[in-house]
Structures are given as structure tokens and as C-alpha cells.
Amino acid sequence: MLALLSALGLQSHGLSASAEPAEPEPGAMAQLVQMLVEQKTLTPAQGELLLRAAAAEKAAQAAPAPAAATAESVPEKVPGRMSVRYLPATAKAQLREEIKQEVMAQAREENWAAPRAFPEWTSRFRPFGDARLRFETIGFPDDNDPTGQVDFNSINQGSPFEANLVNGYPALHNTHADRNRLRLRARLGAEVDLEENFSLGARIATGSDNSPVSTNQTLGADGFGSKYALWLDRVFFKYEVPGLGGKALTLLAGRFDNPFFSTDLIWDDDLGFDGLAATYRHDRIGRVRPFLTAGAFPVYNTSLNLSTRQPGKFKSDDRWLYGVQLGADIELAEKLNLKLGVAWYDYTNIAGKLSRPLTDSTLPGDTDSRRPAFAQKGNTYMKLRDNQYLPTDPAFNRYDYQYYGLATPFSELALTAKLDIKHFAPFHLSVDAEFVKNLAYDEGRINRHGAQNNIKPLPSNDVDSGDLGWLVRLNLGDPVLEKRWDWQVNVGYRYLEADAVVDGFADSDFGLGGTNLEGYFLGGSLALSKRVWTRLRWMSADNIGGSPYSVDVFQFDLNARF
């Protein structure tokens, strides 16, 4: 039995081997097992298993070997005592081995055969993380309009804005002063196997604020030595439906990565999707494997106490995004693959709405919640408050305290494609393309509300807008950076009119984020090791319409992952 306990890694508890080890007496064995259970080295079930194994082995060794087994040689059964017939030496050895294997199997399964091993539950965790250090330089030409980019996000985050500009200019984006900055991004997460096809994912990340499209932290932004914040960036449940054969159905709930096949024309790479999503992949049909993704995502949830400064509360004004995408992976030839997707992204209550008439400048409007929770720049905006105190109160006839909402609804049709060409090994060539059109774009609604956008600070009848966008990108090199000196390069062009997509969710780097932008981009990556790589990017963007605005952005990244 000592050999069995030694194999289970319990020598440290007083059962160390000697030249001629003596098996402990049954009482001593029971005391030893009780001690190990009390120390939580063994569970009660494990202790009972060891005692049973010890009793069986002791009985097998002590059984007499009569010349001829007779009925009289069978030991009398005594309650509480094990009776064992004569066993040959080979049977004893076989019994001993079976008991040992049974105990060892349970020990391996429950990880108590090796006290220094990690607990069983740790094997179900898969931690992961990455870090990026970025040097970024931003250059503007001299002919940019310094007042041409109104910062509606800043306006909507603060107190109501005096739209008649009695107090000077509105909040403005920088359009002419060059900048250099160092930025840091760090993310740490884990995936946990919850068994029975359930899993849990979670991730925390850095970030200067709660922007949905960036986890960058600008170094020195809050002063030398200041600490940086961490945000809950992802947390979701995942369930993979079993028993579907070659088919696959995955369900997601929480905050997770973009579930749709897309580029960064519509959705920024860092954007997390809140809500529910499901992706179904069918068996291959010939050379085609179709897939379907659908989801519902809350974009804004009305505050429980809105409005906080009045006894009467405003009705719920939640905003939702509903998305569905049908696509397929197609094997066109032996080394030629095409992936296609057709998607529809439909927003509810996303557009601004004029409030009920307001006769008191100190009270909130009942549609103030229609202002975007986050915006970059490019979309067309409308005033949300119907201020009636202007012509009737001489003390306030100069003022127009406002918030701003999107001037048009959004319901986006997107076509996405990726062509993989493997004929030029060891070089891998691929082409990405995406087209988007806002089917709900309403130019008449824009004009009716005297809309304004980032191009013109004041209402105008000549607002430049549009509902189309497209992107083409050529990629060459290793599809994945897996080892030292793997490389990739890409070049492309993008065109995104002002109201083709919601600017708050579009790419945050090209043109410093948003819509109403077109231009070229060029980049390359080089692996320095399996887990460390560099990347260079240059992006040159110009306004599609309105007053002059151009910007060149250069980025050098050092990345690491584990």
C-alpha cells in the first residue's frame, strides 16, 4: 500500500520510503487518512477510496493458502469484516494492480496525485493579452479652415450650448496645429470553459475615456507620472450548440467583438457590440459554405430618472441596432477563395427629434436624450430643442440653449468581399472590398430642420452630405505573423460620405475619425519574433464636401501578445 500512496505523491505526510518499509496497521492507516482529509490534502471520498484499497490488499496478502479449498476453509462471515477466499499470487498481483489503477485514474482526473500541480479548474482558463506602444504624428496643411470642424460630441456632453454664439465660437476640432504623441494600449483577458459547450470571455483595457472606438492612452496627457485607467472592455457568455454534425451554431450574449464579416469602413476595429448575436454555419454545399449572422444591440438605454430635475419623467426613448448578414465562403479554384457577405444594419430612434415647445430656458427638453452618446465628426446634425422663449422674453431673446441630434435616420445596406489568391506562394495576395449605402438617408428631413454639420457652424441651406461609402484594399505577404521575419504590406483607398454611416462607430484613425472623408492609406508589418511585431501606417484624408480639411497621419507601432 505504501507503493500506492507513494505513487499518489503522499510521501510528505509521513509515508516516506525506507530500505524495508513496513505497512501501517489498519488503525494507523485510518488515522493517517483522517489527518489528510482534515488537512484537505484528500477529500472524504478520496480517503474512503484509499481505505477500501488498503483493506482489500491487506486481506489478499493475509489469506491462507490451504492444500485443498473446501467449504470448511471458507472464513465465517463476520459483520463489518471482509471475508476473502484463497487467492493465488497472480490473482493477488492482478487485484493490486486494478485497485492501483482505479485510484490513480481518479487521482489524475481530480489532480490530487500531484500536490504541486495546479488545481483542475485552472486548466479551463485560457488567459491572453496584448500591448502596443505607438508613436503618432499628425500633420495639417496651411489652407484648412480653422473653424470648419465643430466638435458636436463635446457640445452634447456638457451643459446646453448657446447656439447663437453670443459667447464666441463653439467647441472646435483641431484642423491646423500639428501634433506628435506617444500612445499606449494594454489589454488583458481570459476565456473560461464552463463545460457542456458553455464558455465565458472577459477583457479589461486601457483608455483615455470611455470612447467605444479607442483603447489608446496618450502618455503624459494627465501630467508626468499620472496613473491610467482600466475599463471593462469585454464580457460575454458563449454557447456552441452541440449535435449539429458539420453545422455550427454559436450564441453570444453580453459585450463581445464584432460578430459580422466587415472592414473598418463601417465599424472600427476596437468597437465592442453590446447585446445578443447568433452565427450559423452550414455544411459545405459543393464548394460553398453559407453562414448567417443576426443580432440585436442596445445603442442607448434611457436613464431610469429622466428627466432628473422634474417631477414628471420622460417616456422611454431607447435606441437599438438590429443587424443581419447572409454570406458564404466559396472555393472558386484550388488556390482561389472568395468570401462574400450582404448585411443590413438598421437603427431605431437614432435620428434627432424636435422637442415639445420650451418656454423656460432652465428646463430640459423631452428629446435631449436623442443626442448621440458619442460622436466623432462628419454626420449632419439638427437642433433638438424647440425654444419658444426667444421672442417673448427680452432678457433671453439673444440666447438659444441647444443640444444636437442626427439629422437623418440610418438603415445601412453593406456588401463585403474578400478574395484570397494563393497562386504566388510563398506570397499571399488578398483583396478586401466593402460598399455601404444608407437606405434611410432623408435629404428632405435635413433641409426641413435647418441642419448643420461639422463643415458649417451655423444652420445653412447648403449642407454637404451624402449616403454612400466604399473601400478597396490590396494585401500582400503572410496572412498571419507567426514567426520571425513574417511580413505584410497593404495599400488602399476609402470614400465615405457624411451620412453614409453613423460617424461615432467608424474608424477612429483615418482622418482622425468619422465620415465625410476620402483618401489613401498604406501600411506594413514585420514580425520580430513569434509574439512581437512592428507596424507602419500612413493615412492621407481629405473632406469630400464643405470647407477645406485635410490631414496626414503617420503611425509607428511596437506590438506584443501572449
Q: What whole-number percentage of the chain has pLDDT above 90?
A: 56
Q: Higher confidence at residue 91 or residue 13?
A: 91
| Contacts with 186 (C-beta within 8 Å, 6 or more apart), sequence order | 129, 130, 131, 132, 205, 206
Query: What are the tens digits of pLDDT across the range 137-153?
Result: 999 999 998 888 889 99
Pairing label, strands 487-496, 468-477: antiparallel
Query: What are the tens digits of pLDDT across the range 509-560?
Result: 999 999 999 999 999 999 999 999 999 999 999 999 888 899 999 999 999 9
Whether 272 contacts 235, CB under 8 Å: no
- Span of 381-385, 489-493, 498-502 with lowest mean pLDDT: 381-385
Query: What are the tens digits of pLDDT across the range 15-35?
Result: 444 444 444 555 666 777 777
* C-alpha span between 244 and 132 (Å, rounded): 40
With a cut of 80, say whether residue 257 has pLDDT above it. yes
Whether 310 contacts 350, CB under 8 Å: no
* C-alpha span between 218 and 215 (Å, rounded): 10
Query: What are the tens digits of pLDDT across the range 188-209?
Result: 999 999 999 999 999 999 998 8
Q: What does the block give as the cell for 306?
A: 429622466
* C-alpha span between 476 and 315 (Å, rounded): 53
pLDDT of residue 256: 97
Predicted TM-score of the model (pTM): 0.78
3-state secondary structure of 111: coil
Mean residue pLDDT across the chain: 84
Q: What are phi and psi of 236, to 5 degrees?
A: -155, 155
Q: How far is CA 414 from CA 377, 437, 501, in A?
A: 21, 7, 10
Query: What are the tens digits of pLDDT across the range 270-306?
Result: 999 999 999 999 999 999 999 999 999 999 988 888 7
Rounded mean pLDDT of 405-434?
93
* C-alpha span between 386 and 388 (Å, rounded): 6
Band of pLDDT at residue 309, cut at 50, 70 and 90: confident
| Contacts with 374 (C-beta within 8 Å, 6 or more apart), sequence order | 153, 210, 211, 212, 213, 504
| Contacts with 535 (C-beta within 8 Å, 6 or more apart), sequence order | 523, 524, 525, 526, 555, 556, 557, 559
With a cut of 60, say whether residue 445 has pLDDT above it. yes
- In the numeric block, the cell 473560461 is attached to 192
* C-alpha span between 14 and 18 (Å, rounded): 11
Sequence ranges of the domains in the chain: 2-62+87-117, 135-177+283-561
- In the numeric block, the cell 464666441 is attached to 168
Radius of gyration (Cα) for the chain, nearest Å?
A: 34
Residue environment code for 58-68, b if the CB has 16+ CB neighbours within 10 A, otherwise e: bbbeeeeeeee
Q: For 245, left (φ over 0), alpha (ψ -120 to 50), or beta?
A: left
Q: What does the block give as the cell for 4?
A: 500506492
